């Protein structure tokens, strides 16, 4: 049995943070009903690198986040659509939305109204800055949050700073935070019989990820250092040149540093006062680095990775994204499942990456075409064929 078998989710989210949260619920077996506007649905349907798919309203951005879900179209500005939504609320466990604060309230579908219909509902609202506060009503995309959170300020080095992460870090972390909170609230509801409102802000979500960097500043009074690919907690720990490219080495323990020195044949550095102790070695990392690289450039990355790992020193190649996606370990872990999308072909999508001993959490059905399940869901609610046709004619669905 799937972990969330029998759980129904009403998903009113768009683009990334919300769909990423509900994707996790869908992979764990929840029935996720994606409620979209009848004209063109989730904006992500038009986002991606293949124009043909965007025109099909099945852009790569949409495909990445919406497996195992159903699509129902409702124009929630119309009273008939609101009635349908309220009927669905009665049989649902979770609502997730990522509109700006107060949008659902203005529609008459805010948490205070919803809980009158279903007191057990877990209602999660995801926004850039949260439901309240001086910035609550400001618009926000991932890059805006990366800048306001301090993430861009701590990335890069003196030649390249500020620097954003190369993927939508804040959106995805916000989605993970929401999924975690929803599962916690669902567990609480099973024990108490009461649902609750969850307020998730992208800004709040990403800042704890900088825990060590933030702690150094808030507790230790040390400003973040612009170290590029260097690890501020240890040395030698970072990216180093080899004969055919680069290698990541993380000699974070003293015994690992000793192993590096022995393998590279520079044991004299172990007694060098600039490198002997951990904290002094960190301060002198840029003096140590060329001495290590002088040895590393004598052989290839694959060679050094093998011998260092064998000695207990974490190290590895720096793969292209394509090589990383096709790495043997990723294949072994069954990180992807393949599904067929009509008009596109077979595509690979991420499974849930946590592995459960008694449950599966995998991609089983392709992302839905816009409004694919509208008739099915409305029929379940007792709405007959002629009424459905009339709703469609009026643009309500």
d(CA 88, CA 73): 13
d(CA 320, CA 147): 26
Mode of pairing for the β-strands spanning 336-341 and 345-350: antiparallel
d(CA 294, CA 99): 54
If we measure between CA atoms, which residue out of 101, 47, 41, 117 comes closest to residue 76? 41
Annotated active-site residue in 102, 112, 171, 300 = 171
Which phi and psi (to 5°) does residue 291 adopt? -70, -35
Phi-psi region of 204 (alpha: psi -120 to 50; beta: other; left: phi over 0): alpha
- C-alpha distances (whole Å) from 276 to each of 199, 265, 267, 269, 294 are 49, 16, 11, 7, 19
Q: For residue 125, how far is the Cα from the chain centroid? A: 16
Peptide bond preceding 162 in cis form (omega within 30 of 0) = yes
Active site residue 171: yes
Q: Which residues are catalytic?
A: 171
């Amino acid at each position: 049995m799937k972990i969330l078998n029998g759980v129904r989710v009403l998903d009113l989210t768009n683009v990334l943070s919300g769909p990423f949260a509900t994707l996790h619920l869908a992979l764990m077996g929840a029935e996720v009903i994606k409620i979209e506007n009848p004209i063109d649905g989730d904006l992500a349907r038009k986002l991606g690198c293949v124009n043909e798919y965007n025109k099909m309203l099945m852009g790569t951005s949409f495909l990445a986040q919406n497996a195992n879900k159903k699509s129902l179209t409702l124009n929630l500005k119309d009273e008939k659509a609101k009635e349908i939504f309220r009927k669905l609320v009665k049989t649902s466990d979770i609502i997730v939305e990522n509109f700006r604060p107060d949008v659902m309230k203005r529609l008459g579908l805010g948490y205070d109204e919803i809980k009158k219909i279903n007191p057990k509902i877990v209602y999660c609202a995801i926004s850039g800055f949260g439901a309240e506060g001086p910035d609550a009503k400001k618009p926000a995309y991932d890059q805006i949050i990366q800048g306001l959170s301090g993430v861009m300020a701590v990335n890069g080095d003196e030649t390249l700073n500020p620097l954003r992460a190369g993927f939508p870090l804040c959106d995805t972390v916000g989605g993970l935070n929401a999924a975690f909170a929803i599962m916690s609230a669902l567990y609480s509801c099973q024990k108490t019989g009461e649902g609750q409102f969850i307020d998730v802000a992208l800004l709040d979500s990403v800042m704890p990820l900088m825990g060590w960097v933030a702690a150094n500043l808030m507790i230790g009074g040390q400003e973040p250092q612009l170290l590029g690919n260097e690890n501020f907690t240890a040395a030698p720990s970072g990216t180093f040149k080899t004969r055919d490219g680069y290698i990541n080495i993380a000699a974070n323990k003293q015994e690992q540093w000793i192993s590096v020195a022995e393998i590279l044949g520079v044991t004299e550095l172990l007694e060098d006062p600039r490198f002997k102790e951990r904290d002094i070695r960190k301060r002198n990392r840029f003096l140590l680095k060329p001495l290590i690289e002088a040895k590393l450039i004598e052989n290839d990355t694959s060679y050094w990775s093998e011998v260092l790992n064998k000695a207990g020193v974490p190290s590895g190649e720096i793969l292209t994204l394509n090589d990383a996606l096709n790495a043997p370990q990723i294949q072994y872990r069954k990180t992807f499942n393949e599904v067929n999308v009509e008009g596109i072909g077979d595509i690979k999508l991420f499974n849930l990456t946590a592995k459960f001993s008694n449950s599966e959490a995998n991609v089983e059905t392709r992302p839905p075409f816009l409004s694919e399940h509208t008739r099915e869901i409305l029929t379940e609610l007792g709405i007959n064929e002629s009424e459905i046709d009339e709703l469609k004619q009026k643009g309500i669905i």
